[in-house]
A = this chain, B = another copy of it.
Amino acid sequence: MRLFSDSQVALQAKRLNIASVAHAGIAEILSLAQSLEHEYGIPFVKMDQGSPGLPPNWVGIQAEIKALESGVVSIYPPSEGIDVLKKAGSRFLKAFLNVEVDPRFCIPTAGSVEGSFIASTICTQMKPGKDTILFLDPGFPIQKAQLAITGARWRSFDIYRFRGNALRDKLEAILSEGNVAALLYANPSNPAWLCFSERELQIIAEVAAAYDVVVIEDLAYFGMDSRVQYGTPNQEPYIPTIASYTGNYILLLSSSKIFSYAGQRMALLCVGEPLFETVSPALTERYHNSGVFGATLVNSMLELLTSGCSTSAQYAYAAMLNAACDGALDFSADMSLYASRARKMKSLFQKNGFEIVYGLDEDREIGDGFFFTIGYGAYSSEELVMELLYYGISTIPLGSTGAELAGVRCCSSQMTEPMMSLLEERLDLFRQDHPTL
């Protein structure tokens, strides 16, 4: 039996001016869930939002309080970031990725959303004719949506059928058209939790180099592939990264997930040296400056968008990165909670007739972490989101992520034990009402 009736859902939808429940957008679906929860006092099992479910890292909080008490926050932050954070970023990349990136090339941004906006914008403006970002989907919808601000173009494909050597041919076919300025992916990825292997990263680097394409690697879920024991500083295994294979890269290093610091909008954008030093006449023409990529990124973009970012949060991030390098802060252990929740959630779903949509990662089983994907019979993404809503479970449709396959995204971050029990009960109800064929 459903927890909410058709008329209850219809009533809330009407109040929210949702014209068609069947064709509601993500924001509308989430509002509808909130509204149902609020109106009828039935708590939702929230698997929609990708917000951290742990307290903020205390090392960061303490450093931030110290910075505030010191009085340093009265003056503008340097646009290129404070030295202590730039150095900590460089040290962190060496300790966990085993790559050398000079502190000069590590630039703080107001979250990786700003980093992604800046990266996409500068790449699509630096070479005439190269005006398109290629997204290796399924991916994070905001990174496409934000391109509308400048009018940059994008295209994408679902990588699921193009892993390993097939990736090379697919990339060749697209990049050889010549209009792609940069390609972007996350590793592990949101929502499918796919991880490129070392071999695939090498392929991406080679094809990108052949067609002069920048590789933007989003490390939002840094080292959260739970199948491998990452997270010991300066020791193998190192986290796979494109920076091992090309200098023509931008890494986006968010503090939101690994340090549960989403509220402070703090990330690093790290640029490969050859790219940082590239001179672009198109940038000179647009920004009336030297045209140097790195200087343009800092002085003509970051400075002009937000004039740098929160001083105290920069001190916090520096302290957390350094503590991780010292071995005094084990972010990997903190994150393992999400993996164990995901494991449990997946088994509940599977027990009740659901399947993991993106279940294979090249030739391995998909890992457990922050996100996973599920499908049910022949339900479309939108149908399944709506159907789960009737059972008090909120998710995100895969269609919005560029996925070819139908299903929904589930996030493990908010799944406390009481929520897990609710999920179990509700999936049981769902199965009774929806016998699979």
Contacts and interface: CB of A to CB of B under 8 A. Distances in A.
Given A68-B61, A304-B149, A76 B263 contact: yes
A55 B71 contact: yes
Interface stretch (A140-148, A162-170, A323-331): A140-148
A150 interface: yes
Contacts of A305: 113-114, 117, 146, 149, 305-306
Interface string A226-263: 00000000000000000000000000000010001111
A373 interface: no
A304 B142 contact: yes
Given A300-B148, A304-B142, A263 B310 contact: yes
A56 interface: yes
A27 interface: yes
A265 B51 contact: no
Interface string A93-115: 00000000000000000110110
Given A145-B300, A149-B121, A150-B150, A113 B74 contact: no
A301 interface: yes
A81 interface: no
B304 A262 contact: no
Interface in A250-300: 256, 260-265, 286-288, 299-300
Given A149-B150, A304-B113, A304-B142, A54 B68 contact: no
A312 interface: yes
A393 to B, nearest CB: 20
Given A56-B73, A74-B55, A307 B65 contact: no
Interface string A140-182: 0010011011110000000000000000000000000000000
Interface residues of A, number: 56
Contacts of A111: 306-307
Given A65-B68, A148-B300, A260-B74, A310 B307 contact: no
Dominant secondary structure of chain A at its interface with chain B: helix
A77 B56 CA distance: 13
Given A75-B51, A110-B265, A299-B27, A145 B304 contact: yes
Nearest to A50: B76
Contacts of A397: none
Given A27-B299, A54-B74, A74-B56, A117 B304 contact: yes
Contacts of A301: 149
Given A148-B300, A149-B150, A75 B55 contact: no
Given A146-B305, A265-B308, A300-B145, A68 B64 contact: yes
A110 B110 contact: yes
B312 A263 contact: yes
A311 B263 contact: yes
Interface string A57-69: 0000100110011
Contacts of A61: 68-69, 73
A160 to B, nearest CB: 25
A264 B75 contact: no
A76 B262 contact: yes
25 contacts: A52-B74, A61-B73, A64-B68, A64-B312, A65-B69, A73-B261, A73-B262, A74-B261, A75-B263, A110-B265, A110-B306, A110-B309, A113-B305, A113-B306, A142-B307, A148-B286, A148-B287, A148-B300, A149-B301, A149-B304, A263-B312, A265-B310, A306-B306, A310-B313, A312-B312
Given A27-B299, A64-B68, A110-B309, 5 more contacts: A51-B75, A64-B312, A113-B306, A113-B307, A142-B307
